[in-house]
Amino acid sequence: MKCGFYVKKADMHCMECAEKFFSFFSQRKVCCYYVENSVSDDTDFLLVFGGDGTMLRACSLIMGKKVPILGINFGRLGFLTELTSEANPEVVFQRLSSGDYNLENRSTIKINYNTAFYTALNDVVISRSDNINVVKVLVSNGKDTIQNFYGDGIIFSTPTGSTAYTLSAGGPIISPNLEAVAITPICPHTTSRYSILVPTDVKLFVTVEVRGKGNVAVDGKNLTPFETKMDFEISKGDGCLSFVKMDGQSFYSKLVKKLSCQG
């Protein structure tokens, strides 16, 4: 078995926990290595120590790779992580090595921006950047208009990202096993504020007009700003990411627990 370790190095507790896991796994003849900028294709599992932000950064390294990811939470909410910071290395090792776990596939979306494709596990956000003027947003499926408004921007979210920025913007929470994309306006200048769910196999065509500069963020990472007007395409991502599940907690029970501030 070969395991990669991706760690939030700025957090001392993350580092201490990761070192404990690394040592325990290595003593049991597991090939272990710390991940910096890339994940080896022959990695059996990627263990991530940190919060949801750390998970997103780790996921960006395994896009297109068939490497299951297991998160140990050191953040506040931990929607993407599976285990708590109190996880026992021996128990985790035994379950991984014996196959005593499930895999939950998470869909992705991709954006065509400046002739390049970028893939998101959570969301793609297009918004105003360096000015106070609203932007004009038009979204269609190539035939019918889906959204047409002035506002601060727009969010395209996967089910995984529905508990992130989309939720704060008034969008729906989507079960991870659904194949859908949520289209949610950010502070629209209209009396009717709504999100729309569309199937993931629908290609979306987006035109954004802005006075000054506009911003594009993929899973929170800003791309090069654009000026005046830009056309985008949003479509289903290639493949999916596999999350290791072993705590037996359902999406709904985790949702209630996290959003009611019970832990």
| 213, 39 Cβ separation under 8 angstroms | no
Helix (H) or strand (E) holding 151: strand 145-151
Residue 7, C-beta contacts closer than 8 angstroms, at least 6 positions apart: 14, 15, 18, 34, 48, 49, 50, 54
In 35-101, DSSP assigns E strands to 45-50, 69-73
Nearest to 85 by CA among 30, 163, 18, 3: 18
Measuring CA to CA, how many Å separate 125 from each of 26, 64, 165, 217?
Answer: 41, 22, 9, 5
Q: Quick one: which H or E segment has residue 61?
A: helix 52-61
Does the annotation mark 219 as catalytic? no
CA distances from 245 to 69, 79, 103, 177, 234 (A): 9, 12, 6, 14, 29
- Cα–Cα distance between 1 and 98 in angstroms, integer? 11
Query: 11, 52, 123, 219: which is the annotated catalytic residue?
Result: 52
Please state, as a whole number, how many other Cβ atoms lie within 10 Å of the Cβ of residue 147: 19
Distance CA 82, CA 51 (A): 10
Q: Which residues, at least 6 apart from 247, have a Cβ–Cβ distance to it below 8 Å?
A: 82, 83
CA distance 215 to 56: 19
By annotation, the residues acting in catalysis are: 52
